[in-house]
Chains A and B, each alone.
Chain A
Amino acid sequence: MNDMSRVERQVDANEIKLECRDCQVYYGDNHAIKDVNVDIEDKTVTAFIGPSGCGKSTFLRCLNRMNDTIDVARVEGSFKLDGEDIYDKRVDPVQLRAKVGMVFQKPNPFPKSIYDNVAYGPRIHGLARNKAELDEIVEKSLRRGAIWDEVKDRLDAPGTGLSGGQQQRLCIARAVATEPEVLLMDEPCSALDPIATAQVEELIDELRSRYSVVIVTHSMQQAARVSQKTAFFHLGNLVEFGETGQIFTNPEDPRTESYITGRIG
């Protein structure tokens, strides 16, 4: 951790974008998330860390109601986006997901061309008035996804034909193309090489100026590099949540300390 990022972290407390209170998630009888309270701030990167299977993805999927697509999943608690409960009956999950975008843990490009993959969101939401604007959005998104140079000559090739890491960056480009207010990223860099990882981290940093980003990661260094807030999950509980610098240098809970120093996993 260099001093630069430490300085950057000294931002004033932003207003709260997403407020989560007493969240519970059950998969059938399996109580996967227990009493979690988290505030996702605007214009902030929040990192979720924790051992595998502790419920990071599950909690992330609550934030844009992706758990609705899992039959056995049941979500309780209050989730307020800009003060509005996203689980309210009047809220359209489709509208919500346009505002709260998501990059999944496993890359899932559509079996369409690279261009159509990125243009998918802008098309269904009518973000471009004409082809030229759409082209522009696609190019900008691919550049932000750090994949433009690799695919600019084959935008018509199928997205499924890319390598795993390229597919993941394509999915990132696809997600930012819809200009979400909150971007949820589930281990976006797990399949990427250090160069692409650095580019994605740069993108996250750039996105922070306008949106809030939530990133799940298994890399402590990455969490320390990109995030201002860090949440540590363990066995479905939120053990500790606070300033990233605080968590990494002076954790309150012994479990957090053991995890970041590599003693529990």
Chain B
Amino acid sequence: MPILWLFLIVLAIAAGGYFLGRSRALQSAGGDSRSLHSLPSFYGANVFLKTIVPAFGLLILWLLVQPIYVNTQISGMIPETAIKEGSSRSLVLAEVRRAASGLDNAVEQGLITEDIAQNARADFTDMTQRLKDAGQVVTSNITQPILRAAQSYRVLNSTGRSAMTIAVLLAAVAGAAISLWQTNKVFRARNVVEQGVQVLLLAAASIAILTTVGIVLSLVFNTWEFFKLYPASDFFFGTTWSPSFSGRGGSSELGIIPLLWGTFYISLVALLVAVPIGLFAAIYLSEYASPRVRAFAKPLLEVLAGIPTIVYGLFALLTVGPLLLGVFGDEGLGWMKAGTAVVTAGLVMGIMLIPFVSSLSDDIINAVPQAMRDGSYGLGATQSETIRQVVLPAALPGIVGAILLAASRAIGETMIVVLGAGAAARLSLNPFEAMTTVTAKIVSQLTGDADFASPEALVAFALGMTLFILTLGLNVFALYIVRKYREQYE
């Protein structure tokens, strides 16, 4: 039975349970809902929850555990001798799975009967030929142990499936029955449902957190692998970035400093563009603009935030780069060699960040209470004095938080750098030279054809980890500041 069907059946049982629970509760109160402990719908919801939660929990658990169990079983069936020179157990297991799905398909297409597919004494040469005839992709000749393993793989899986279906349905029915039996007019269904909802919310929150933990762990493990192959001190303090492209050469120099410098420099240029413009825009919008201008200009500014960064990258490559080259290039001041440079990427990234800074700052400035402004006006201050001396200082921590959030976005930005700043890792102060950032290098290290276990590929994880810690630190700091600001007006 497909899982979707199982899912729907459990839902149907639960829905039936809902109405049964409701009516049973009403019945126990003699039809008078006022003498029930909770509203009738809570009794229904109680049955509903107690039906689906154990059933779906079991379903998920089973789906997770069964493949692991089957794999260990099959793995035990394959003798060492069956593993060829230069191959590995996991490759053989993959072959088993392929053969099993080949058998499945063949049965489905009616080329062989289920009996033959399961027949333990079936002739394997014959079987290979049949599978090939049937157009199944079977890499090498299927050997006897592989065929046997594939056959029992199929059997294990299908019995597992049937057992799962039965167990899940039993769990659903049992849950419904027990909760229906509990239902009477003094049962505190409302409290139980409330608790159930709380647990659901908690589960959702933990999934989010666990995912983060998982991401961090995968980063950590791969970073660890990298540091086994490449000395950490060279990585953190090396001032040259020149991975060898041959793959396994020991000649790569993987120093992060030029990349960090590029990241820092480009982000700095971006913030120099975004912060003043964004802040002034926010002040104009929140303090000076008439409601009509505001209603029109604010969404317009926020549209900037919705443009995909690759579009900004193209803008940098095709418009801003040539434009800057015209002014600072050989025809102009002669400072710039090519369109891809720190200023190009920084400028475009700054434009990208403007709505980010302005929209957050605008919210924060608006949150400054009107009473504060009135106090200042009441003392005979002008509007600009009020803004400079009362509103901005009051909003400053929040604005700093907004700027830090913008900075962490700038640090994480990739596409604009790839297209606007070039790919050369360089330690230089000249903003008209090409440079590159950590993120851009992560992409280029992983998209190359380097072996995944080589330091040249694994360095991407170390880079990612460094970046993660940097932006995490910035975000935590920003949130801390924003929160501190919130407390001021409680």
Chain A residues packing against B (C-beta within 8 Å): 64, 66, 69, 71, 93-99, 101-102, 104, 106, 108-112, 120-121, 124-125, 160, 171, 174-175, 178
Find out whether the CB atom of B379 lies under 8 angstroms from the CB atom of A178.
Answer: yes
Is B118 in the interface zone, CB < 8 Å from A?
no
Find out whether the CB atom of B374 lies under 8 angstroms from the CB atom of A124.
Answer: no
Find out whether the CB atom of B377 lies under 8 angstroms from the CB atom of A97.
Answer: yes
Find out whether the CB atom of B379 lies under 8 angstroms from the CB atom of A120.
Answer: yes
The interface residues of chain B, by DSSP majority, are classed as helix
Chain B residues packing against A (C-beta within 8 Å): 291, 369-382, 385, 389-390, 393-394, 488
With A71-B291, A108-B371, A160-B488 as contacts: A124 and B380 at CB distance below 8 Å: yes
The interface residues of chain A, by DSSP majority, are classed as helix
Residues of B within 8 A of A69 (CB): 370, 373-374, 377
Find out whether the CB atom of A95 lies under 8 angstroms from the CB atom of B374.
Answer: no
Find out whether the CB atom of A121 lies under 8 angstroms from the CB atom of B380.
Answer: yes
Complex alpha-carbon distance, A71 and B373, angstroms: 14
- Which of B371, B377, B382: most chain A CB closer than 10 A? B377
Find out whether the CB atom of B378 lies under 8 angstroms from the CB atom of A111.
Answer: no
Complex alpha-carbon distance, A109 and B369, angstroms: 11
Complex alpha-carbon distance, A202 and B375, angstroms: 23
Residues of A within 8 A of B390 (CB): 110, 120
Distance between A185 CB and nearest chain B CB, rounded to angstroms: 11
**How many A-B Cβ pairs are below 8 Å?**
72
With A71-B291, A111-B393, A111-B394 as contacts: A121 and B379 at CB distance below 8 Å: yes
Find out whether the CB atom of A94 lies under 8 angstroms from the CB atom of B372.
Answer: no
Residues of B within 8 A of A94 (CB): 377, 380-382
Find out whether the CB atom of B379 lies under 8 angstroms from the CB atom of A175.
Answer: yes
With A69-B370, A160-B488 as contacts: A110 and B376 at CB distance below 8 Å: yes
Residues of B within 8 A of A109 (CB): 375
Find out whether the CB atom of B394 lies under 8 angstroms from the CB atom of A174.
Answer: no
Complex alpha-carbon distance, A28 and B313, angstroms: 49
Find out whether the CB atom of A124 lies under 8 angstroms from the CB atom of B291.
Answer: no
Complex alpha-carbon distance, A98 and B379, angstroms: 6
- Closest residue of chain A to B381 (Cβ to Cβ) is A124
Return the 5 tightest CB-CB contacts between A and B, nearest first. Answer: A98-B380, A102-B378, A108-B371, A108-B375, A97-B380
Distance between B300 CB and nearest chain A CB, rounded to angstroms: 22
- Closest residue of chain A to B372 (Cβ to Cβ) is A108
Find out whether the CB atom of B393 lies under 8 angstroms from the CB atom of A124.
Answer: no
Residues of A within 8 A of B374 (CB): 66, 69, 104, 108
With A71-B291, A111-B393 as contacts: A97 and B379 at CB distance below 8 Å: yes
Distance between B408 CB and nearest chain A CB, rounded to angstroms: 26
Find out whether the CB atom of A95 lies under 8 angstroms from the CB atom of B380.
Answer: yes
With A108-B369, A112-B393, A160-B488 as contacts: A124 and B375 at CB distance below 8 Å: no
Find out whether the CB atom of B375 lies under 8 angstroms from the CB atom of A66.
Answer: no
